[in-house]
Amino acid sequence: MINKLTRRLLGFLLFSCLSLSVIGQERLFDMHIVRLNALPLAIGSYNVSYETPFSSQWSAVMSANFRPMGSIPFEKRVSNYYTDNEVRFNTIKGSNFSITPEIRYYFLPSSALRGFYFGTFMQYAQYGLDIQLDYVGGKYKHNPSKFDLDGTINTITVGAAVGHQWRISELFYLDWQIIGPNFGLNKGHAQAVNTNGRPLDSGQEQDIHDKFKEFNIPMLDLDIQTSSTQVDIKTSGAWAGARIGLSLGYRF
């Protein structure tokens, strides 16, 4: 379903870009701005974007975000959110990559990419997970079964954004993307593999299945299969997010 949706969205985006290019062909690539978003840097993520105008009020933007695998922000708080006497989280790590094409409309004519704007965008994102946890239920309370969960979730979303961009000098711009909600679909797969040779019996399999089911994540559908040595998890359903940004841009 995601692949079919991706093809349709890419086709729509390409059609929109070509249409705007015809409308303002003389303006295409006569101005360039590259930007670095300062907000994601606080959590070890890197977001860069490139913008060029189609006309006096239309522009195309391409953004990319990358966060290498590492400890997630507020890891302790996330671990404490799920409190259970039989499942204990040791480490929670995550990564993220996304690419986001966007079309912007600036409300001021001949704005040279300044002032308030409205944008529509599509985003493909991939989220990586690496979680180490102990299952201390049953007969292994003092020597628990250890699991290493590794997997990815892929998402396709579309959204709209509002913001304001200032030209602060001859070469530098400041872009404030106020809010950019987006909605779409997700599809993911993860496996939690037993790493210390403490297989689960049938009762423990059902118990740990139920424990994973207790993760009540809005809109995320979980399909969980368990065996004595691993847990197989598939995700599907809706997905939602929001983009914000405060980016310093350089014009060339």
Residue-wise pLDDT for 213-231, tens only, equals 766 677 788 898 988 888 8
Q: Which candidate, 218, 212, 208, 213, places its Cα nearest to that of 241? A: 218
Tell me the percentage of the chain whose pLDDT exceeds 70. Answer: 79
Query: Please, what is the average pLDDT of the chain?
Result: 84
Distance CA 19, CA 2 (A): 25
Answer for the pair 243, 182: CB distance below 8 angstroms, yes or no: yes
109 Cβ contact list (under 8 Å, min separation 6): 56, 57
Query: Which stretch of 15-19, 20-24, 85-89 has the lowest confidence by average pLDDT?
Result: 20-24
Please enumerate in sequence order all residues whose Cβ is within 8 A of that of 80, keeping only pairs 6 or more positions apart, or say none: none
Q: What is the pLDDT of residues 45-64, one digit of tens each?
A: 999 999 999 888 999 999 99
Which is nearest to 40 in space by CA: 251, 249, 243? Answer: 243
The closest alpha carbon to 94, from 154, 152, 156, 157, belongs to 152
HSE (side-chain half, CA atoms, 13 Å) at 35: 28
Residue in 231, 213, 226 with CA at minimum distance from that of residue 133: 231
pLDDT band at residue 24 under the 50/70/90 scheme: very low
pLDDT confidence of residue 105: 96
C-alpha gyration radius of the chain: 23
Q: What is the pTM of this model?
A: 0.81
- Residue 156, pLDDT > 80, answer yes
